[in-house]
Structure 1
Amino acid sequence: MKRHLYNDSQQTGFRKQLRSNPTLAEARLWYYLRRGQLGAKFRRQYGVGQYVLDFYSTEVRLAIEVDGDSHYSERGLASDMRRSEFLESVRIRVVRFTNQEVLEETTTVVEMIKGIIAKLKK
């Protein structure tokens, strides 16, 4: 069976589960990303290849990842590097924020995302 690059049907249940159980940081950021409020439409838990992105805008080809503590182990960092390399190979820009940044510096994170979107739209 051929796998699709975007939203592979084999991941549907997993993506749905992730959308139904967001972290507090993901839920907070989604409040600002939804309905194109920052200048681009985003989707939650969007599949690209074998990966599921926290947030993705097809319009500007921007992935936003919100990383918890597990991402900062040696194994997690290596996995994130492979993931980012793959996404960049299919022309998707990746921006990462920590849960702590999203929760404690929400305004700054939102403004950074707005600026990135504006640059990508030029």
Structure 2
Amino acid sequence: MKIKTKLPEKVLQRSRNLRKNATPQEIIIWSRIKNRNFKKLKFRRQYQLGKYIVDFICLEKKLIIELDGWQHSEQENYDLERTNYLERQGFKVIRIWNEEINSNLDGVFLKLEEFL
């Protein structure tokens, strides 16, 4: 039996807000992975793990997809701390630059396949 824990309202609101205000690149990736469209795997978006909300997660494969834009070059320490935490929880984290999605979407999905 799976037990669901209720998330604090603040966290739920933040997740909902992130989903409503998705970047163009998040919309592109989500359109390709939702409804088990990618390798028949179930992905969730803007999912909370600990104190972090990840862009996309496949719990079955313990895979997290994080999309990075220009602002991420300014927060390298935070991203490193976050990635270390997620990896300690047993997840594989793949980071994809928005520009990579814009210029080489097929290559992005080849990279994702390698992680599986």
Deviation of the 1:112 alpha carbon = 1.5
- CA distance in 2 between counterparts of 1:11 and 1:34 reads 22
- After superposition, the C-alpha distances for 1:14-36 in whole angstroms (9 at most, x for unaligned) are 00000011001110111111112
Gaps of 5+ in 1: 1-5, 118-122
How many residue pairs were aligned?
110
Unpaired segments of 5 or more residues in structure 2? none
Partners of 1:37 and 1:54 in 2: how far apart?
A: 17
Runs of at least 4 residues of structure 1 off by over 3 A?
none
1:98-109 alignment, distance < 5 Å: 98-109=97-108
- Give per-residue Cα distances to partners, 1:15-64, cap 9 Å, x unaligned: 00000110011101111111122221100100001100000011101000
Relative contact order (alpha carbons < 8 A, sep ≥ 6): 1 or 2 greater?
1
Amino acid at match of 2:53: V
Q: CA deviation at 1:7?
A: 7.7
> What's 1:67 paired with?
68
Partner of 2:47: 46
TM-score by length of 1: 0.85
CA RMSD in angstroms, aligned pairs only: 1.4
Structure 1 residue 111, shift from structure 2 partner = 1.8
Give the TM-score of the pair, scaled to structure 2.
Answer: 0.89
Indicate conservation of the 8 Å contact 1:38/1:113, yes or no: no
Instruction: Tell me which amino acid in the other structure corresponds to 2:24.
Output: L
SS of structure 2 residue aligned to 1:115: helix
Q: Distance in 2 between matches of 1:24 and 1:96?
A: 16
For the Cα contact (< 8 Å) 1:71–1:77, is it kept in 2?
A: yes
